Amino acid sequence: METLDELVRAGKVLHLATSNVEAEQINGSRRADEKLGLAHFTGVQTEWNLLSRGVETDVVPAARTAGTGVVPYFPLPCGLLTVKYAAEKPCPEGSRFALIPYFAEVATEENYRKVEQLTRFAGEHGRSIIELAFGRLLAQDGFASVIAGATTPQQVAATRATAVGRRLRRRGTNPASAAL
């Protein structure tokens, strides 16, 4: 951390960020930074989406307590929430699911069932599942951005059109969570 602090103080680095850390690491780093007077992490990237919500109980609260912003990645879990994949159809040739084994691990029966429920829920509320996925994340406090991971210019345009100005309003219990 001292080396990173030196880079910040020298003006070579504006802010420090990290990714894929546990709550204990966020807390420990913040305590050490405060004790030693070092620059601290201002951002953390973490996988967070409608199907992968484990960070909501530990990483996100720790980041908020530490004053660290959260930047979610895989908001459409490897394209599963784009509804271009279906349980009964093979993965499209050249897709992430077809090319990278990690992505194929997301394609479980349980996740396909959840996608069906979320698609139905979004439709009942006049939204697409993509709007629901981005809107739920963008409605959270302390977010600067969501990393979309588009692979074509058309996906970038569609993601931008969906995300800009489409934050979901927060009203008590999250209805998208209740849909699962």
Q: What is the pLDDT of residues 126-167, one digit of tens each?
A: 888 888 888 888 888 777 688 887 777 877 777 777 766 555
Q: What is the pLDDT of residues 96-110, one digit of tens each?
A: 777 888 777 788 889
Strand partners, 16: 41
Kind plus residue range of the DSSP H or E element containing 163: helix 153-163
With tokens 């939204």, the residue in question is 127
- The answer to pTM > 0.85 is no
Q: What is the average pLDDT across 80-84? A: 79
Q: How far is CA 164 from the centre of its chain?
A: 16
